[in-house]
Amino acid sequence: MSLAATCAVATAAACTVEDRCVEPTPTAEDALAYLGQRYSVGPKYLTLPAPSRAQLEAAVALALRSPDHRGLRPFRFMRVTDDQRDRLGGLFAADAARRGHGATEVARARERAHNGPALLAMVARVRANVEYVPDHEQWVCVGGGLMNFLNALHLMGFGAKVLSGASVRDAAIQAAFCDAGETLVAWIVTGRPSRRSHAKAIVSDVPALSDWVGVRFDSASTAEVPGMPRTSGHASSLRRPGAKCPRCPPVAPP
Full pLDDT tens readout for the chain, 254 residues: 444 444 554 544 444 444 444 456 778 999 999 999 999 999 999 999 999 999 999 999 999 999 999 999 999 999 999 999 999 999 999 999 999 999 999 999 999 999 999 999 999 999 999 999 999 999 999 999 999 999 999 999 999 999 999 999 999 999 999 999 999 999 999 999 998 877 777 788 889 899 999 877 655 555 555 555 554 445 444 444 455 565 566 666 65
| 224 inside domain | no
| 161 inside domain | yes
Q: Which amino acid is at 181?
A: G
Question: HEC string of the chain?
Answer: CCHHHHHHHHHHHHCCCCCCCCCCCCCHHHHHHHHCCCCCCCHHHEECCCCCHHHHHHHHHHHCCCCCHHHCCCEEEEEECHHHHHHHHHHHHHHHHHCCCCHHHHHHHHHHHHCCCEEEEEEECCCCCCCCCCHHHHHHHHHHHHHHHHHHHHHCCCEEEEECCHHHHCHHHHHHHCCCCCEEEEEEEEEEECCCCCCCCCCCCCCCCCCCCCCCCCCCCCCCCCCCCCCCCCCHHHCCCCCCCCCCCCCCCC
Q: 95 near 173, Cβ under 8 Å?
A: yes
Half-sphere exposure of 143 (CA within 13 A, CB side): 6
Burial class (CB in 10 A: 0-12, 13-18, 19+), 102: exposed
Residue 174 maps to which CATH number? 3.40.109.10
| 227 inside domain | no
| 126 inside domain | yes
Confidence (pTM): 0.76
pLDDT of amino acid 246: 54
| 160 inside domain | yes
pLDDT of amino acid 17: 40
Report the number of distinct structural domains present in the chain.
Answer: 1
| 34 inside domain | yes
d(CA 140, CA 207): 20
Domain span including residue 67: 3-82+114-197
| 233 inside domain | no
| 59 inside domain | yes
Phi, psi of 99, rounded to the nearest 5 degrees: -85, 10
